[in-house]
Amino acid sequence: MFYNIINSERRLGHSTTTVTNPRTNEPLWEVTVANETDLNDAVQAARSLPDEVEYEDEKLKIVSTHHPLGVVGAICPWNFPLVLAVGKVAASLVMGNCIIIKPSPFTPCATLKFAELATSVLPPGVLQALNGDNDMGRLITLHPGVDKISFTGSTATGKKVAASAAQTLKRVTLELGGNDASVICPDVDVKSVAAKVAAGAFFHSGQMCVATKRVYVHESIFDEFRDAFVETVKGIKIDPSGDQPTLFSPVQNELQYKIVQDLIADCKKHNYTILCGGSSTDGQPGFFIPPVVVDQPPDDSQVIRMEQFGPIIPLAKWSSEDELIRRVNKTDTGLGACVWAKDVGTAEQIARKLEVGTVWINSSEVPNPRGYFSGWKQSGIGGEWGKQGLLSYSHTQTLQFYK
Q: Are residues 73 and 92 in the same domain?
A: yes
Q: Say whether both 116 and 145 belong to one domain.
A: yes
One DSSP character per residue, 245-309 reads --S----SSHHHHHHHHHHHHHHHHTT-EEEE-----TTSSS-----EEEE---TTSHHHHS---
User: How confident is the model at residue 391, as a pLDDT?
Assistant: 94
Residue 21 — very low, low, confident or very high, per pLDDT cuts 50/70/90? confident
Domain count, the chain: 2
Between CA 29 and CA 31 the distance in angstroms is 6
CA-based nearest residue to 207, from 349, 33, 69, 80: 80
323 is catalytic: no
How confident is the model over 356-371, as a mean pLDDT?
Answer: 94
Angle at 232 between CA 226 and CA 234, to 5 degrees: 100
Range of the structural domain that residue 239 is part of? 181-368
Q: Exposed/middle/buried for 15, CB within 10 Å: 0-12, 13-18, 19+?
A: exposed
Cβ-contact 215, 337 below 8 angstroms: no
Q: Are residues 118 and 153 in the same domain?
A: yes
pLDDT tier, 47 (very low <50, low <70, confident <90, very high otherwise): low
Whether 251 and 293 map to the same domain: the answer is: yes
pLDDT at 48 over 70: no
More confident residue, 48 or 186: 186
Is 166 in the same domain as 211? no
**Of 36, 116, 175, 307, which one is the catalytic site residue?**
175
Same domain, 139 and 244: no
Task: Identify whether 71 is part of a domain.
Answer: yes
Position 240 scores a pLDDT of 74
Q: What span, in angstroms and rounded, lies between the C-alpha atoms of 129 and 127? A: 7
Nearest-5° angle of CA 375, CA 304, CA 327? 70
Instruction: Specify the pLDDT at position 192.
Output: 97
In angstroms, the CA 137 to CA 295 distance is 40
Contact between residue 289 and residue 260 where contact means Cβ atoms under 8 Å apart: yes
For residue 210, tell me if it sits in a domain: yes
pLDDT score of 376 more than 60? yes
pLDDT of residue 280: 62
| Pair 187, 155 in one domain | no
pTM of the predicted protein model: 0.87
Whether residues 170 and 186 share a domain: the answer is no
**CATH code for the domain of 34:** 3.40.605.10
Query: pLDDT tens, 240-268?
Result: 766 777 778 888 889 999 999 999 999 99
Report DSSP state, residue 166. Answer: G
Predicted local confidence at residue 378, as pLDDT? 96
Residue 64 inside a domain? The answer is yes
Sign of the alpha-carbon dihedral angle for 311, 227, 320, 346: positive
Count how many Cα atoms sit within 13 Å of the Cα of residue 369 in the half-sphere of its side chain: 9
130, 256: one domain: no
Q: Is the pLDDT of residue 146 over 90?
A: yes
Interatomic CA distance for residues 145 and 44, integer angstroms: 8
CATH number at residue 355: 3.40.309.10
Same domain, 123 and 226: no
In a domain, 374, yes or no: no
Nearest-CA neighbor of 6 among 104, 92, 122, 106?
A: 122
Same-domain status, 234 and 275: yes
Predicted pLDDT at 282: 61
